[in-house]
Amino acid sequence: MFGDLERTPRTLLVCDRSSFLDEKNRLSSQVEQLHFNYKVSMLLPECSSAPSRLEAVLNSFNSFYLIRKLPIHELLDKHFLETSVHQGLVSGLSYRTRIDEDNCVALMPNGHLSLSLDKDSFELLGVEGKPSRYNLGTNSRYVVSVDLTDSSMAPGGRGYQRLVTGLRSRIQLKTDFLLSHHPVGGGASLQALLSRCDWSEHRPEVRSYALTDLCCPLLTSDLQSRDPHLLLEWLGAVDADVSCENSSNSFLSTLVCPEPKTTMSRALSVSVCGLLSPQDVHRLIQQIRCYLDQPRLESWASLTVHGFVDSPVSWGGDEHGVLRGGENFYSLLMFHDHTYHLHLGTGAHDTCPP
Amino acid sequence: MSVFMDLNLSYTAERSRLKSLIETAAHLGFSTVAINYVFEPAAKKKQEIPTPMPIKELIEELPVVQGRSRPIRVLNRLTVVMSDSSHFRPNAAEYRCFDLLSVQPTTEKLFHAACMIYDVDIICISVTEKLPFFFKRAPVNGAVDRGVVFEVSYSAAIRDSTRRRYTIANAISLMDNCKGKNVILSSAAEKPLELRGPYDITNLGLLFGLSDRDAKEAVSSTCRSVVLHAETRKSASGIVYTMNTCSESSGQQEAPPADCEAPAAKRAKPHLTD
């Protein structure tokens, strides 16, 4: 029985190695498929302050709206569907709802609405749905996935009416909702929806820390024998400001920097939090490539993008859940010769990343 | 999965400590807690069953659960520590004001009776001493069939290292018999520092021999089925539920309406029969 204690819940790590100059690299599709990004954190070695162009890109990230207690049937409003959802311009996620406790809602840019409901709400709603893939044993969570661009969901049709009646009167589903619109400036079509709700606009929060005397592993683009788990552990420790000294009189952290290592006199750690779109992440990656192009002391930079822990969907609309941790993230390590190492990681209740 | 619940917060007379217990539980992510009034009838003296303090008096504004947008829900629970079969009186009127009812049997005969006959929701397993009796499969299976759950509390393990051994030993012995079904894990916390977060308790469940899924259910779905089981005790066969209309203001007599709420059986029955 105690053999079980040594097993940790399953995690998946997909490692990909390629070059930006290679035409067949799948990076752009991998970045595009993670629709809902919560945090982007970057580590720039031998750098004490952010270059101005990088700052400009960070400051030009899309702002997003937080709507308090949005009745979800408003997302099916006829005008909203025609002006925004059918054009593929909006995406949104329910906020302050836990995927393993509450009902969660996600609206993807391709017009798919995904509702992850607990058993009571699903039985009351009365719309066709499937049990969650990650139900262990008894069915306690159900997923209703609706394609709002499909003809069966045209406003006035039977499927549409049934869903609206269910959301409006049978379960009165109301959650806080984060909504974002691409491109920026098209917010006019959202005004009709926002005017009926309690909303506020937010900009992604940017924080940067200058680090000194950082112990870091020697990273070159042709490293073959490096264990990706140790490297990701170190990157995470730097981002979370956890000491990697492993000194004998401290029991807080026994994390160490992987060998072989060197010491950097300074480094910059920048993080951006909010509802971030894959297009913004793409622009940031291109900007870091330009930054690395110039002759530098250190020849690498790293970028980690975290998805939302409580999102009902992960890469490509696949279902996401939380067993004891709901991580879904990818970490891109870029080198000055245009090669990159990509690590995509997920937790127990997730399908394999692309 | 359903929301996380901790169904055993010890009642103290100090209002401020109880209030900070509830606030800590909300901060840790528990969406429902139950304040536990322990009643231990002594042989000679006649003692009265405590009446629960109404929640409104206890704490004016319930704190919002961390990470969600709803306030925490607080229930009242009574635990009767039984050393004799006369200690638990079925259908006593005083039990009505409590939302949950539990017993802690101290002999094998009482354990058997509690599992098979008594109308309770939770059977507490003693964690502060060596088990006075061994668990047998027959009463445990009988309790599982009826929807009664077994509770293991962990705050004794936090306070003292000897009790830690007893907690783990007793819990493992219980899991051997019930195969991980119908178990809930809760603190019996007297101080806010003795509370732990739901995912930590899931990990603790692994130490007791529960599987990943059973351990997570022990903090969420099984607790939900206990609360539903308790609600059905107040109704007729779990289908008809009556409540008083507030007719104090008007002088007329109104027949109390039946079916005032979505009938308890419309919601999932205690989880065994799902």
> Tens digit of pLDDT for each residue in A318-338?
888 888 888 889 999 998 888
Instruction: Kindly determine whether residue A140 and residue B2, on different chains, have CB atoms separated by under 8 Å.
Output: yes
Nearest CA to A309 out of A90, A39, A66, A118 is that of: A39
CB of A140 less than 8 A from some CB of B: yes
CA–CA min distance A157, chain B (Å): 29
| Rounded-to-integer distance, Cα B30 and Cα B8, Å | 12
ipTM above 0.90, yes or no: no
Instruction: Kindly determine whether residue B207 and residue A102, on different chains, have CB atoms separated by under 8 Å.
Output: no
Q: Mean pLDDT, to the nearest integer, of A337-351?
A: 87
In terms of C-beta density within 10 A (0-12 exposed, 13-18 middle, 19 or more buried), how is residue A331 classed?
buried
Nearest CA in chain A to B66: A96
- Helix, strand, coil percentages (3-state) for chain B, rounded to 5, are 40, 15, 45
**Torsion angle, CA of B214/B219/B222/B228, rounded to 10 degrees?**
-170
CA–CA min distance A101, chain B (Å): 5
Predicted pLDDT at A191: 82
Cis ω on the peptide bond leading into residue A51 (within 30° of 0)?
A: no
The number of beta carbons lying within 10 Å of the beta carbon of residue A227 is: 9
Give the contacts of B57 (CB within 8 A, at least 6 positions apart).
none
What does the pLDDT look like over A124-171, one tens digit per residue? 998 899 998 888 777 888 999 999 888 888 888 888 999 999 999 999
Instruction: Kindly determine whether residue B68 and residue A98, on different chains, have CB atoms separated by under 8 Å.
Output: yes
Which one of B1, B65, B214, B273 would you mutate to disrupt binding with A, by most A Cβ within 10 Å of its Cβ? Answer: B1
Predicted pLDDT at B44: 62
- The more confident residue out of B189 and A243 is B189
Cis ω on the peptide bond leading into residue A260 (within 30° of 0)?
A: yes
Which one of A122, A140, A169 would you mutate to disrupt binding with B, by most B Cβ within 10 Å of its Cβ? Answer: A140
**pTM of the model as a whole:** 0.84
Nearest CA in chain B to A10: B212
CA–CA min distance B68, chain A (Å): 5
Instruction: Kindly determine whether residue B206 and residue A4, on different chains, have CB atoms separated by under 8 Å.
Output: yes
Q: Collect all residues of chain B within an 8 Å Cβ-Cβ radius of residue A140.
A: 1-2, 221
CB of A176 less than 8 A from some CB of B: yes
CB of B225 less than 8 A from some CB of A: no
Distances (CA, A) of A27 to A108, A281, A303, B233: 20, 11, 13, 58
For residue B162, give the amino acid letter: T
Say yes or no to pLDDT of B262 above 60.
no
Say yes or no to pLDDT of B267 above 70.
no
Task: Please tell me whether residue A160 adopts helix, strand or coil conformation.
Answer: helix
pLDDT classification of A116: cutoffs 50, 70, 90: very high
Q: Tell how strand B73-82 and strand B32-39 pair up.
A: parallel
CB pairs under 8 A between A and B: 52
Q: Collect all residues of chain B within an 8 Å Cβ-Cβ radius of residue A323.
A: 212, 216
CB of A297 less than 8 A from some CB of B: no
Q: Are A178 and A106 in contact (CB under 8 A)?
A: no
Q: Collect all residues of chain A within an 8 Å Cβ-Cβ radius of residue B206.
A: 4-5
Please name the helix (run of DSSP H) or strand (run of DSSP E) that holds residue A333, with its range, or none: strand A328-335
The number of beta carbons lying within 10 Å of the beta carbon of residue A354 is: 16
Q: Collect all residues of chain A within an 8 Å Cβ-Cβ radius of residue B268.
A: 119-120
| Rounded-to-integer distance, Cα B88 and Cα B85, Å | 6
Please name every residue paired with B186 in a beta bridge, in sequence order, or none if there are none: B153
